[in-house]
Amino acid sequence: MNWKQARLIAIGHIRRLELPRRLDGLEVQVTDYADARTLKMLKPDEPELTIESQRMINQAFMRELHKRGARVRRVEVRADEYLTWLDQFGLRNSPENRAQFISWLTAPDPKPIPQ
């Protein structure tokens, strides 16, 4: 993947999310996958995606957000933390629980109990 491709993907994400042109001061959280294992575990539906290309897409996405005035907060996600979280709450690995884990990570304390 090259920078132009990453930027086009990032712009596509922004369009799909229907983000306004101005995000003045709004905090936007961007998921940062700690390593290739984490990326593959949490995005199994995108097997062609490498950690390098994901980071390039994130960088392009964050630049676009900054251009719109957003404050960007990176949220690092680790596979071992996800597995511990699943075990702690007796959950199974599923697309719904992967999304719920990301939301749980960014929730203020006290953290909600996953459903």
What tokens were used for 57?
């897409």
Q: What percent of the chain has pLDDT over 90?
A: 89
Q: What percent of the chain has pLDDT over 70?
A: 100
In a domain, 49, yes or no: yes
Q: Report angle CA 80, 60, 105 to the nearest 5 degrees.
A: 30
Per-residue pLDDT tens digits for 27-80: 999 999 999 999 999 999 999 999 999 999 999 999 999 999 999 999 999 999
In a domain, 10, yes or no: yes
In a domain, 13, yes or no: yes
pLDDT above 90: residue 113? no
Which residue segment(s) compose the domain that 34 sits in?
3-78
- What backbone phi and psi angles, to 5 degrees, belong to 110? -75, 140
CB environment 18-56: b (16+ within 10 A), e (fewer): ebeeebeeeebeebbbeeeebbbbbeeeeeebeeebbeb
Residue 50 pLDDT? 97
What's the whole-model pTM score?
0.87
- Count of domains forming the chain: 1
